[in-house]
Structure 1
Amino acid sequence: MINVTDPERARPRGRAADGPPGDAVIIEATIAVMAEHGYHGTSVRDIAVRAGLSPAALYHHFASKQEVLATIMERGIEALLARTQAALAAAGDDPCDRLRALVEVHILFHLEDQRGTLLGTSELRALEEPVRTRHVAKRVAQQRLFDHVVVDGVERGAFHTALPLEAARAIVVMCTGVASWFSPSGPASPEEMVRRYQHLALDMVAASTD
């Protein structure tokens, strides 16, 4: 299981971890402000104030508010894809283990930065072309990883759902949605949520787990 207490894993979804240090401050400020006011309700000045910069200093790092949003969204999906692919590579050949690995990485990733997760979900509509089309394609690629594992499990007799693609989509939505309500101060840890949702996912695909 991914160690969410590891300092590297605790960094917000790869959005602020990459690029120059000044970028990280702006990205974190953008996530915070847009989580409160949305993309269209946020100005460059709002971001600059939250980051402790002047608007001119912000423009030294990003050409526009749109570029900041695009950077946040793209770093997020690229980090998610990379972690998912690595998790599958380490999971072995068993379809149940592979589905458990997908659920684990998807939930823990989205709980690392819940505000960023909600921003990424709600502000896709604000992305402009050509970034939006490229970004959507990466989201589809992430979904296809789930699709492939579930369909492969059905073909191999490990899963018995009659609706493998629908089940795969439902699992992704279910796991992503944890970020909208999970409380770090609540009774369940992220690891416990992983265990619960792994069980739910296997039930959804009618897995043979004996």
Structure 2
Amino acid sequence: MFSDRNAPHGPSAHTDLVSPDDDATFGTILDAAVRVFGKRGYHGTSVRDIAEAAGVSPGSLYNHFDSKHDLLVVILDRGLDNLVSASEDALYTAAPDPVSRLKALVGTHVRTHAVARIESYIGNSELRSLSRDARALIISKRDTQQRMFDRVVRDGTKQGVFTTSDPVTASRYVVTACTAVATWYRPDGDIGIDELVQKYEELSLSCVGYIGDPTDA
């Protein structure tokens, strides 16, 4: 879990969780909830806080969401759907070798968490705030993302391309490290996203014991 003092603050672009097909008011409320949850945390935020940030009445909010908890579920659910979909697309377009496939997954995971820092913070810090059924849903989608990494690392180990003696732990380590980008990356910092992705691709290949030169893949 991230501590509140590590929560990304300050102005941010509109969240990518809003779909073009969403009702305009629905999208405005969802965008406001991301900003307010990111700043105050789930338990420190009231429905009125979100409504005020969205410029709507609490009644209007309830016309689109059953509760504050419902908003949190939508944020986490859509965030993971976006991540899983982007990762599947990356694998589909990547070359079939394990190195290319791992780099494709790492690049997607890092980019997503570098761009959606607030959404990532909410997803990691507020999982505990979900109901049992909602938590099970979100965990199942996290597991889907993790299994993509697991398969690629395991396949690379079987082919002798990766030499790690513990592909499961190595895969989990890579995913955890890539996710943590959201806790420290800043768009106005001294490293751009492209350079960040390249560094994490190389570090991840080293973690799984790639026997070649990562820059040659």
Is the shorter-chain TM-score for this pair beyond 0.5, marking a shared fold? yes
Alpha-carbon deviation of 1:11? Answer: 6.3
Q: Does residue 1:84 correspond to 2:80, yes or no?
A: no
1:59 corresponding residue in structure 2: 62
CA distance in 1, matches of 2:212, 2:28: 46
Q: Does residue 1:195 correspond to 2:206, yes or no?
A: no
Contact kept in structure 2, 1:87 and 1:101, CA below 8 Å: yes
CA distance in 1, matches of 2:80, 2:72: 12
2:132 corresponding residue in structure 1: 129
2:114 corresponding residue in structure 1: 111
2:151 corresponding residue in structure 1: 148
Contact kept in structure 1, 2:110 and 2:179, CA below 8 Å: yes
Report the identity percentage. 41
Q: If the length of structure 2 is used for normalisation, what is the TM-score?
A: 0.89
Q: Does residue 1:50 correspond to 2:53, yes or no?
A: yes
Contact kept in structure 1, 2:15 and 2:34, CA below 8 Å: no
CA distance in 1, matches of 2:87, 2:14: 17
Contact kept in structure 2, 1:150 and 1:159, CA below 8 Å: yes
Please tell me the root mean square deviation across aligned C-alpha atoms, in Å.
Answer: 1.3
Aligned with 1:130: secondary structure? Answer: helix
Q: Which runs of 5+ in 2 are unaligned?
A: 1-12
1:4 corresponding residue in structure 2: none
Alpha-carbon deviation of 1:63? Answer: 1.0
| Cα shift readout 1:27-80 (whole Å, capped 9, x = no counterpart) | 111111111211111110010011111101111111100111111111111111
Q: 1:30 to 1:110 in 2, by over 3 A?
A: same
Contact kept in structure 2, 1:25 and 1:51, CA below 8 Å: yes
Alpha-carbon deviation of 1:135? Answer: 1.3
CA distance in 1, matches of 2:196, 2:182: 11
CA distance in 2, matches of 1:144, 1:63: 32
Q: Which runs of 5+ in 1 are unaligned?
A: 1-9
The count of corresponding residues between Structure 1 and Structure 2 is 200
Alpha-carbon deviation of 1:129? Answer: 3.1
Please, which moves more after superposition, 130-139 or 160-169?
130-139
